[in-house]
Structure 1
Amino acid sequence: MAQETRGKVLLTGISGFIGLHCAKEALEQGFEVVGSVRSEAKENEVRATLEAASVDTANLSFAHLDLTSDKGWDEAAAGCDYIMHIASPFTIANPKTEDEMIIPAVQGSLRALRAAKAAGVKRVVLTSSILSMMGTMKTGTFGPENWTDTSSPSISTYTKSKTLAEHEAWKFMESLPREDAMELVVVNPGGVFGPPLGKNITGQTMALTDQMLRGKLPMLPNIAFPMVDVRDLAVLHVKALTEASAKGKRVIAATSDPISFIQMAQVMKDQGYKGPSTRKAPDFVLKFTALFDREAKGMLGMLNMNLSADTSETQEVFGWTPRPAVESIQDTANAVHALQN
C-alpha cells in the first residue's frame, strides 16, 4: 500500500541547481513530486543524482515541458495540489536580443499559472529574484514593497526578465474571479551559493567559483548584494507550499547584509585556496570590457552596488534564519574544488 503523501507538487526546472535541492527537500518532507524536464536523458540524470544524495525517489515522476510551448502543461498539472515554478532562463550575460530571455521567463510563468488554475491547484510558489526589487539602487535597504523599473536602461536583461515575469504573475492573480481559491507566493532569492547536488558546475554560481579557484579572475568588480545558500532556499520553497500566512507575499530569501565578490574571494583564500584574487577592478575596466563582452555588460547595472535586504517578514512568517554566508561560500568552494579534480 502506497504511503500517503503531504500532497502532489509539479516542480518545473527540477534538473537545475535550485530545482534539484528543492526536489530533495520536498521528497524528504513527504511530498509527491512531478519534475519537469526536456528529455528522458534528463529524467535519468535527475533520478540518479537524487539517489546518489540518499533521497528515496519512489514518489518522483516526470513530465516533459518547455517554457515556450503549451504542450503538456495541463496534463502535468492534473491532480497536483501545488506547483513550484523554478524554471527560467538564467545567465549574467545579456543575450543578443532581449526576447531570447524575456519571452521564456514571462510565458513560462503564465503557462504554470494557467495550468494551475485549470487543475484546481491550491497554491503556486514562483521563484523570482531580489533583482525584481533592487532596481537601480546602489546603497540602502530594499524590501518586498520595492519594484525594479523595467524601463531603466541600466538594468540587465536577466533583471528585466525576472521583474516582468513576476509582474505578469501578480497581474494574472488579480485577474482571477474573487471566489477563485488559488494562491500565489513568490520567493525572491539573493545570489544563490552552496554545494550542488551532482557533478554539474556549469551554472553561473558554480562557474564563478570555478573561475575564482582557478585564478581566472585577476580582478573583481565592486559589487555587493545579499546572498542565500541553496539548501536554505530549498527549505523556504517547501515551507512556502503550505505556510498559511505566506499567501500573497513576496518572500526575500537572502542574508540581510550584502556580500561582495572580494569578500567571497577572501573567504576562499582563508581556506587555503591560492587561485582567488582580492584585487578590486577599477570601474573603467568593467565599462570598457562591457563594450565587447555581454557578460560584463550584464553586470554594469550592479557596479558599486552595496545593498542590504529587509528580511524581517521572511523571518517572522517562516521562523527562517539563513546560515552564515562564510559557511555557504566555504561549502561551495570545497564542492567545486572536489569536482575540478
Structure 2
Amino acid sequence: MAQNIRERVLVTGISGFIGLHCAKELLNQGFEVRGSVRDMKKADEVLITLAAASVDTRHLTFVQLDLTSDEGWNDAAEGCDYIMHIASPFTIANPKTEAEMITPAVEGSLRALRAGENAGVKRVVLTSSIVAMMGSMKTGTFGPSDWTDSSSSAISTYTKSKTLAERAAWEFVENLPDSNTMEFVTVNPGGVFGPPLGTNITGQTMAIVDQMLNGKLPLVPNIAFPMVDVRDLAVLHVQAMITPKANGKRILAAGSAPSSFAEMAQILKDEGYKGPSTRIAPDFFLRFMSLFDREAKGMLGMLGMNLSADNAATRSLFGWTPRSVKQSIQDTAKAVSLIQNQ
C-alpha cells in the first residue's frame, strides 16, 4: 500500500488495455495517478471506464503526451515518485515502414527515462515484452537473461521494436551518472488476455477473441507461446515498481507453459461458443497470404513456435501465482460477448 502521503505515478498510455488495469490497481492501492493520453478527449473515456469499474478517480489527473515529441514530458514527470511507461505501438501486422513502429517505441522509452531523470523519480517501470527475450526461437525455454537478436530477418517489426526499445532503455540507465539514483525495471509480458475495462475491444488481443467468437477465424495459426492475464500483469507492474529487490531486473510476466490459438479456441468451444474454430492453418497458406497481407506477414516468424518460459524468478521474487489460461480466456470471452451484445 502507498503511504499516508500519496505517492504519485505517471502512467503513460493509460487509456490502453494494460494501462487501464494498471491505473485501477494503482488507485485501489492508494497511489495518485497522472495518466498520459495522446488526445485529451480520451481523458473523459478513461474516467468513465474506471468509475464504472468502481474505482475512486479523485486522485487521477491527465496530461497530453506524444511518444514522438519532446513537448510536455518534463512537466508531466515533475513531482512524480515513479513512472510506469506502458505506451508503445502494438499490432501484429507489419507496418508499411519499420520506422512507423520502431521510432515511437524507442524514442518514447527514452523520453520517459529522460523525464524521470530530470524529475528525480525513484524508479521507472518499462513495459517491454517476452518477444524481446524469445527472439526467433521455435522450441525450448527462454528466460530473463535471454535477448532477441534485433538484426534477425526472421522476426516481425513489432518484435524488433520492443527489443530495440528495451535495449535502448537499459543502455540509457547504464550510462546515468553515479550521482543519479533513479532505478529501472522492465516487465516483459507474454500474450495478454483477460477482460477489458470498458467497452473498447479494438486492441489486438481483444480483436482476436472477438473474431474467434464471431466465427471470423476459420483457421488459426500454428503458434504457441506463454500468456498472462491482464489483471495479474497489472499487479506485477505495481510490485515491480515498489519492491526493492526488483530494481535492475527484467520481470518475465507470463505462465510457464505455451498456449496455442487452437487451445484457446477449444476452451471457447467447451464453454458453448459456436464461432471458434480449432482448425490449424497450414504454414504454406500463411506464407502465401503474407505476400499481400501485412498481418499474415507479421506472424511468419512465429510459425511453428512452441515455447515455454522460465518464470521462476518472478514467482520467487513476488510470490506470484498467475491465473490459469483457461480462466483468463473464459473471462475474456464473457466480457467480449457482453460488449458485443450491448
Smaller-chain TM-score range? over 0.9
Match of 1:9 in 2: 9
1:206-221 to structure 2, matched below 5 A, reads 206-221=206-221
SS in structure 2 at match of 1:104: helix
Structure 1 Cα separation of the partners of residues 149 and 40 of structure 2: 39
**CA-to-aligned-CA distance 1:107-143 (integer Å, 9 cap, x gap):** 0000000000000000000000000000110000000
Alpha-carbon distance between aligned partners in 1 of 2:250 and 2:5, rounded to the nearest angstrom: 27
Q: Which residue of 2 aligns with 1:135?
A: 135
Segments of 5+ residues of structure 2 without an aligned counterpart are none
| Aligned ranges 1:244-323 → 2 under 5 Å | 244-323=244-323
Amino acid at match of 1:290: S
Aligned Cα root-mean-square deviation (Å): 0.8
Q: Could you say what secondary structure the match of 1:70 adopts? A: coil
Secondary structure of the structure 2 residue equivalent to 1:228: strand
Q: CA deviation at 1:41?
A: 1.4
**3-state DSSP of counterpart to 2:148:** coil
After TM superposition, give the deviation of residue 6 of structure 1 in Å.
4.2
Query: Which residues of 2 match residues 144-223 of structure 1 at below 5 A?
Result: 144-223=144-223
Distance 1:83 1:63 in 2: 13
CA distance in 1, matches of 2:7, 2:241: 10
Letter in 2 for 1:321: T
TM-score, reference length from structure 1 = 0.98
Offset at residue 178 of structure 1 (A): 2.0
The equivalent of 1:63 in structure 2 is 63
CA separation in 1, counterparts of 2:211 and 2:49? Answer: 24
Tell me the equivalent position of 1:88: 88
Shift of 1:39: 2.0
Answer yes or no: is the 8 Å Cα contact 1:124–1:185 preserved in 2: yes
Q: Is the 8 A contact 1:5 1:31 kept in 2?
A: no
How many angstroms does 1:5 deviate by? 4.2
| Map of 1:72 onto structure 2 | 72
SS at match of 2:280: coil
CA distance in 2, matches of 1:267, 1:184: 38
Q: Distance in 2 between matches of 1:36 and 1:30?
A: 19
Deviation of residue 95 (structure 1)? 0.2
The letter of the residue matching 1:299 is M
- SS of the residue aligned with 2:83? strand
**Superimposed CA distance per residue, residues 261-304 of structure 1 (whole angstroms, 9 cap, x where no aligned partner):** 00000000000000000011111111000010000000000000
1:49 is matched with which residue? 49
- Over residues 20-43 of structure 1, what are the superposed CA-to-partner deviations in whole Å (9 max), with x where a residue is unaligned? 000000000111000001222101
Bigger mean CA deviation after superposition, 32-41 or 192-201: 32-41
Structure 1 alignment gaps of length 5 or more:
none
1:80, distance to aligned residue in structure 2 (A): 0.3
Q: 2 CA distance for matches of 1:96 and 1:169?
A: 25
Q: How big is each residue's C-alpha offset from its partner over 1:165-193, in whole Å with a ceiling of 9 and x where there is no partner?
A: 00000000011112321000000000000
In 2: Cα distance, 1:289 partner to 1:4 partner: 56
Q: Establish whether residue 30 from structure 1 lines up as the match of residue 30 from structure 2.
A: yes
| Equivalent in the alignment of 2:340 | 340
CA contact (8 A) 2:40 2:63 kept: no
Q: CA distance change for structure 1 residues 23 and 158 in 2, over 3 Å: closer, same or farther?
A: same
Deviation, structure 1 residue 4: 3.4
The ranges of structure 1 where at least 4 consecutive aligned residues each deviate by more than 2 angstroms after the TM superposition are 3-6
CA distance in 2, matches of 1:208, 1:97: 24
When the two structures are aligned, how many residues end up with a matched partner?
A: 339
How far, CA to CA, are the matches of 1:320 and 1:103 in structure 2? Answer: 34
What percentage of aligned pairs have identical amino acids?
73
Give the Cα separation in 2 of the matches to 1:40 and 1:131. Answer: 31
